Chains A and B, each alone.
Chain A
Amino acid sequence: MSADSVLAAPTDRGGPAQPLLRVSHLKKRFALRGGGVLEARKYLRAVDDVGFEIAKAETLGMVGESGCGKSTTARLIARLIEPDAGELVFDGDAVGRFGGMALKEFRRNLQMVFQDSAASLNPRLALLDAVAYGPRVHGLSASAARHRAAALLDRVGLAPAQFGARYPHELSGGQRQRVNIARALAFEPRLVILDEAVAALDKSVQAQVLNLLQELKVERGLTYLFISHDLQVVRYLADRVLVMYLGRVVEIGTVARLYGAARHPYTRALLSAVPSMDPSRRTERSPLAGDPPNPIDPPSGCRFRDRCAHAAEVCARIEPALFETVPGHLAACHLDDPASGHPEARVPLASIAMPDGVGA
């Protein structure tokens, strides 16, 4: 076998219908400092029973405010931190389980790009070496790895002859993020997690990187998990969107339905908090009062209830589960479940005609 086959592009196993990644019952709590001998130790439930699927060649957007658990979820998936519970199934293979996919193999299939483009690069490695480093560690020969790195740098718009020998500090933020993308792709991954990857970039540069990500996805048949606090960017890039609040998934659906007919009051508030871009239609009233509550001590029942205009007695008692309002669209709100006992509970959505263009 040639050296190159060590890092050959991984092949599709389960066919297009099988989700590329299935995450189920993912949990992580962090112990907090303090607490005496007799006091019960306090925990922050950063990710609390999160589950979702990502289809092949899909871009799943993940949105939510700081502290909602988006980044922790990403790190749990990449196994940068160990989950307390939960299961990952990558293209039909359970990850890290006996008889399943080995962790090393999984990590090669999954790469991450982070927000801080400078912190993710070794300041003492020239760019070409930085991109070639991963494939070499995974068994590619030095010359083949450099060859691959040069091709990738070229692809992300940094001519290897001009940039290959430069160091990270000589680059602008946008250029560094291109290097990080090239480095992630050097493993020929199938899933790329982009954790606020364009958040720190200036708008004009951000647009360039977004275009690059779109092109690369089509060229290489990539699947993205795109984490962002910027709803406009997610709308532009994603196929489906997942909304998190205080460690829980509160809504998942297609971009068209989520942006056109969001079900969860939190999603609606988040959407109407986006500045209008139109001086004649300025926002007149804030959709929500107050800050997100402390995740150490979330409210009982529905975690959103103390900021929700529709909160009723049942919301304090029972935590709403994700409920399928229409096929493929889930929301965790008592309003959507006619059996919940919420006084304002809506009739099932399926019987309401959707406006044009909002269909799944």
Chain B
Amino acid sequence: MSRALLSVRGLSVRFLGERSVAALSDVDFDVARGEVLGLLGESGSGKSVTLRTLLGLHAPRTTRVTGQVNFDGEDVLSLPAEALRRYRGGRVSMIFQEPGLAFDPVYTIGAQIAESIRAHDAVDARTATARALEMLERVQIPQAGRRLQAYPHELSGGMRQRAMIALALACRPLLLLADEPTTALDATVQIQILLLLRELQREAGMAMIFVSHDIGAAIEVADRIAVMYAGRIVEENAVAELVAAPRHHYTAGLLASTVGEAERGRPLATIPGAPPDLSAPMQGCAFAPRCVAAVARCRSELPPLVRDGARALACWRPRATGDGDGARGPIGPS
């Protein structure tokens, strides 16, 4: 692997307020050029916070960010305002779950994409509009010329999601941050958007961080998956290996409790309990109270994320690699 495009080291985010919440703790990961990293986790695990931190979207008054984010040789967390503005949308851009919120309802789709192009490149209005049209065509919006004049509310959910992708890619970013981009979509539309993202990503050689709670969607697009729990990465591996032989008990439980094909009628393997409260101080592994393999050490000492080639794991008592049953083994007491 060549030098990473994005390199995150020791990133921690704390939201200050009535109760201070440790949303992200000591997160390390790299994304290479043209690579798709899937960030998988349940609500509150820190996936979206990670993306927002990468774009510097948190209000500085109520957020304390520590650690390092290096993007293409630049230290993102200390970028001055003007450089940050060029970085956002120009070299790194983001798409969201709710495309309705990414567009201003009183301007046409075309005007907004053109505006974004002109904010980053020195081109005239006509060139920008022509590029906007080209983008709408690339995201396969039918009758793109007419849609250029459409207001956001005139498009269906799937079309709006495509238009948002066009907006995000208009300045040819090196990295796309995708925050649950298909969660709100219907099944037949979801698969179209996943395939579109995969195609555009490959064509442009762009890197992507794809955040999802849906393992199925992540498997469709990601090269590598990092699993997050309670604000930390607990396991990371190439997608095939992670699915076939999860080492962390949380990853295994997550895979097993995803309703697959074979279990019809039989009780599902579940992870007992619920995720921890991030405003309470934590000792040891955050997953220990729900983990079947937890021992005294898990409750007292935090397991560090240990890297070994392509894989990384934060667990004192990982599952054996030789487990032939893979993800479908008995996980928890049911």
Contacts and interface: CB of A to CB of B under 8 A. Distances in A.
A232 B274 contact: no
B42 A270 contact: no
B157 to A, nearest CB: 7
A325 B13 CA distance: 58
Interface in B181-196: 186-192, 194-195
B218 to A, nearest CB: 9
Contacts of B281: none
A273 B188 CA distance: 5
Contacts of B190: 273
Interface in A286-315: 286-292, 294
Contacts of A204: 42, 253-254, 257, 270-271
Interface residues on A, range: 35 or more
B220 A282 contact: yes
B270 A65 contact: no
Given A202-B43, A273-B187, A289-B192, A235 B270 contact: no
A202 B42 contact: yes
Nearest to B256: A207
B270 A211 contact: yes
B264 A277 contact: no
Contacts, number: 127
A321 interface: no
Given A203-B42, A232-B261, A289-B192, 19 more contacts: A174-B274, A202-B213, A204-B257, A205-B42, A208-B270, A211-B267, A211-B268, A211-B270, A229-B187, A230-B259, A235-B261, A255-B264, A274-B216, A277-B243, A279-B219, A279-B239, A279-B243, A283-B195, A291-B156
Interface of B: 42-43, 142, 156-159, 186-192, 194-195, 213-217, 219-220, 239-240, 243, 253-254, 257-261, 263-265, 267-272, 274-275, 334
24 contacts: A65-B186, A65-B188, A203-B254, A204-B42, A206-B259, A207-B258, A229-B186, A235-B259, A235-B261, A236-B259, A269-B188, A270-B187, A270-B188, A273-B187, A273-B191, A275-B214, A275-B219, A277-B215, A278-B243, A279-B240, A280-B240, A286-B192, A288-B188, A292-B189
Interface of A: 65-66, 172-175, 202-208, 210-211, 214, 229-233, 235-236, 255, 269-270, 273-280, 282-292, 294
